[in-house]
Structure 1
Amino acid sequence: MARICLITPGHPSKNPRLVKEADALAEAGDDVHVIAGDYHPWGHDADRQYQDRPWELERVSYGAVASSGRQIYLGGRKRIAETLAGWLPQGTRAVNLRAQHWAIPELVDRAQSVPAELFIAHYLPAVPAALHAAEKHGAKAAFDAEDFHRGQFHDDERGSPEAERTRWFEETYLPQCESLTAASPGIARAYADELDIEEPTTILNVFPRSERSGHTPPQELREEHPGDGISLYWYSQTIGPDRGLEMVVRAMGQIQDRVDDAPCLTLSLRGSWTDGYKTNLHALARSVGIENKQIRHLTRTPPDQLIERAAQHDIGLALEQAKSRNRDLCVTNKIFAYLLAGLPVVATNTQGQQFVHRHAPNAVRLCAIDDVGDMAQQLCRWVRDAESRKRASEAAYQAAEDRYNWDVEKETLLSTVRTLLA
């Protein structure tokens, strides 16, 4: 048994990957301690679901959850550091740490108080904490790259102070970690190339088979589907522009115009609307002949209910837009959620989603980004042919059963950790 500390600047309820890793390590017999940021009221309440998990959760407050005095102090410290970072040499470590995130010094202090053998950082602001704590305790430090962080900036943002600090963070801290893992093969290769390091081990963002059932009240499951026709399902924390939803609405309009006796299509969206976006999307829908009732809003739900709720719908939508290099390389958890739920998937042809399509071609249809006609064509094949849609559903379920599930993938995590500790 090893003492392992996982560190993240965000809420565990917003980072299911960290929760899965903590669960897997604890189930394998390790003593797991999680240090997590606590900044959002919704996340603060949602994190209570982990009180009975076989690992300890310690929270570092900042943002809206912190006291007013602490908010003023941390916010002021970050603004001063951002100003100083523009004047001082780029490698001024203390300033860059405080400019990068509100609570890095607090994460460092808290991590150093945990006598662990391995510290695993999630997201860049957690890496200094893992490294400092590992140095103090003679332990190992690792980083789990859920994103290709320098690739999160658009072309016109690459010269910004934030982008330069991100590159500095990666180049300064990541090569110091004894182990790196990544959430997609593309992210792993990109970090190996950019930092001239050994290619990180890929651990996909998949879900446990156990989340297929038993987590959601039956009455709520019965209300999940709109009832008539075909439900096109998409979920995220926020529902807003540049997520591919406009393309889906236009494709729905084309299908209604071209397909005789087409079943009623409903776009079921789970998440929180960004300001003004609901009005804009409904206006677009009306302009292409889609009624407001065909765009259905579903509220956010606990992470362990996502799979069985998704299973109540008909087709999953994975609409990554490749607006940045990271979005092109990543494989988001939603495409794996759809497969585990047994949903056929229509996905945009990013590099990350091409990887899934190659391994599950009968369950995933690819369409070109920003090509409404192509999306309409791919959807139409399953909308018109219920038998084809059923076969695709079975292929999705089987791909997840055989390969794309956490019961299989966690063995890579455990093997990586055991090798590192040995």
Structure 2
Amino acid sequence: MAIEFKKIVLITSGQPSLNPRIVKEADALAEVGYDVTVIYQFWNNWATQLDQQLLAKKKWKAIRVGGDPVTEKFIYWKTRVQYKIYQKLLGLIGLNYKTSIGAIGRCTKLLIKEALKTPAEIYIAHNLSALPAAVIAAKKNNCKCGFDAEDFHRNEVTNDSNHIDFKLKKFIEDHFIDKLDYLTTASPLISEAYQQLYSKINPVTILNVFPKTNLQLIKESSNRLKLFWFSQTIGEGRGIEQIILAIGQLNHQTIELHLLGSHSLEIKSKFEEIALKNNLDFTQLFFHSPISSDQLIPFASQFDIGIASEISTPWNRNICLTNKIFTYINAGLGVLASDTLAQKKLLEDYPGMGFIYNKNEISTLINCLNTYINQPEVLKNQKKQALSYCNNHLNWEIEKEKFLNIIKVAIS
């Protein structure tokens, strides 16, 4: 795709290592010749270590604002205090433009400041607290802006329309989304939700998929059935407890559960205690520390089944599609997914690569695991189907062209 040399700024209130989606977009833009800058902020220490490895290999620039608790303590703690003050002010004086900008994110004001002094043809926000920065910088520099909504933000935390988190996010969305030149989302149902709210915007779905895998052969399953779950953080209320209970009720010693993500010793001990109480021993439950996003798919490919144990509340959880489920597909795993609306739709649209289970009825999860144990051909066929979908339909090569075309049209 031949282009004129143009500058593009992507903005996030997270870190590159915590957001594979912004990395894929930045890479895609840089590959075709755009001058790309990513503006971001500190989120946690382990991601900072991964960022150092990641950014050293990239063709695009990265600018961090807001400091961190180790090397730039003053600005970090100053912004934390200011953020807390603005959150308190919401309850005292209510929502207005100033309080909403201050309360939507620790570094939103600094993201705005940095974006304003970084000229570009288009500013692209990732996550809601970066949205004001993209729109304000675009207006000041008389150029275009876009927003990538991986979530349905007003319902990320609660379904209660009287809750302050809902009101704040709705205020930000209402104030800025209508000013966008384009809106992308990470699932068809999120696109539908935003379309209903903002009729002038026509959201385009860009799935959370990854580049085509080099995996060609499905390894034969060993005598142990290896289940895999990952997220940025391992914690309670993520469906892990139900998985452990299901394995325990099967009382099958050849099933392993592998969990990857940041975790405290307290959480590790808590899940180990649940496991021991439910007939699992320490040879069945494994904890893995976070790894870089480019290592994730090769790491996942050593397992048999990827578990997407998403919950249905608040509403965003019901309609989002995380990079978790697409990682499993790309790694050639069988997919075991809870019955959220978005995951049910995905497995209906792409049948044969996994099972949907009822997250409120543990018997359905047990039945799925029983099938894998007693009918190994089912798992083998699911793995083949997952790789087929990855290589022919669900891959970044396809979604990337959609994304690049959106940018080309927006700035042409």
- What's the TM-score once normalised by structure 2's chain length? 0.93
2:14 corresponds to 1:10: yes
Q: How does 1:102-117 map to 2 (within 5 A)?
A: 102-117=106-121
Taking the aligned partners of 2:45 and 2:35, their CA distance within structure 1 comes to 28
Taking the aligned partners of 1:295 and 1:400, their CA distance within structure 2 comes to 29
Q: Cα–Cα, structure 1 residues 271 and 212, in superposed 2: closer, same or farther, change >3 Å?
A: farther
Q: Structure 1: 5+ residue runs without aligned partners?
A: 214-224, 257-261
Which residue among 87, 99, 102 is the counterpart of 2:92?
Answer: 87
Q: Cα–Cα, structure 1 residues 308 and 72, in superposed 2: closer, same or farther, change >3 Å?
A: closer
Is the 2:124–2:148 Cα contact (8 Å) retained in structure 1?
yes
RMSD: 2.1
Which residue among 154, 159, 182 is the counterpart of 2:158?
Answer: 154
Provide Cα deviations, 1:68-121, integer angstroms capped at 9, x if missing partner.
32233212222222233323352x212221122111111111101111101000
Taking the aligned partners of 1:311 and 1:119, their CA distance within structure 2 comes to 36
Structure 1 SS opposite 2:370: helix
Q: Structure 2: 5+ residue runs without aligned partners?
A: none
Which residue among 383, 389, 393 is the counterpart of 1:393?
Answer: 383
Is the 2:12–2:40 Cα contact (8 Å) retained in structure 1?
yes
Taking the aligned partners of 2:334 and 2:37, their CA distance within structure 1 comes to 37
Equivalence for 1:216: none
> Offset at 1:322?
1.1
Structure 1 SS opposite 2:145: strand
Provide Cα deviations, 1:314-341, integer angstroms capped at 9, x if missing partner.
1111100112101100011111111111
Equivalence for 2:362: 372
- Could you list the structure 1 runs, at least 4 aligned residues long, displaced by more than 6 angstroms after superposition: none
Equivalence for 1:408: 398
1:303 is matched by which residue type in structure 2? S
Structure 2 SS opposite 1:35: strand
Greater shift in the superposed pair: 32-41 or 13-22? 32-41
Bigger proportion of residues as helix:
1
Structure 2 SS opposite 1:320: coil
2:61 corresponds to 1:56: yes
Q: Cα–Cα, structure 1 residues 7 and 332, in superposed 2: closer, same or farther, change >3 Å?
A: same
Equivalence for 2:204: 201
Which residue among 226, 242, 251 is the counterpart of 1:231?
Answer: 226
Provide Cα deviations, 1:20-51, integer angstroms capped at 9, x if missing partner.
00001111221111111124222222111212
1:83 is matched by which residue type in structure 2? K
Which residue among 21, 24, 37 is the counterpart of 2:25?
Answer: 21
Equivalence for 1:245: 240
Q: How does 1:262-411 map to 2 (within 5 A)?
A: 264-274=254-264, 276-411=266-401
Greater shift in the superposed pair: 189-198 or 340-349? 189-198
Taking the aligned partners of 2:43 and 2:233, their CA distance within structure 1 comes to 17
Is the 1:104–1:129 Cα contact (8 Å) retained in structure 2?
yes
Q: Cα–Cα, structure 1 residues 140 and 125, in superposed 2: closer, same or farther, change >3 Å?
A: same
> Offset at 1:65?
4.6
Q: Cα–Cα, structure 1 residues 285 and 39, in superposed 2: closer, same or farther, change >3 Å?
A: closer
2:231 is matched by which residue type in structure 1? S
Q: What is the number of residues matched between the two proteins?
A: 405
> Offset at 1:284?
2.1
Q: Cα–Cα, structure 1 residues 274 and 325, in superposed 2: closer, same or farther, change >3 Å?
A: farther
Equivalence for 1:421: 411
Percent identity (aligned):
33
Taking the aligned partners of 2:88 and 2:214, their CA distance within structure 1 comes to 46
- What's the TM-score once normalised by structure 1's chain length? 0.91
> Offset at 1:178?
1.1
Greater shift in the superposed pair: 72-81 or 343-352? 72-81
Q: Cα–Cα, structure 1 residues 356 and 328, in superposed 2: closer, same or farther, change >3 Å?
A: same
Taking the aligned partners of 1:232 and 1:79, their CA distance within structure 2 comes to 40
Which residue among 104, 119, 126 is the counterpart of 1:122?
Answer: 126
2:66 is matched by which residue type in structure 1? S
2:101 corresponds to 1:97: yes
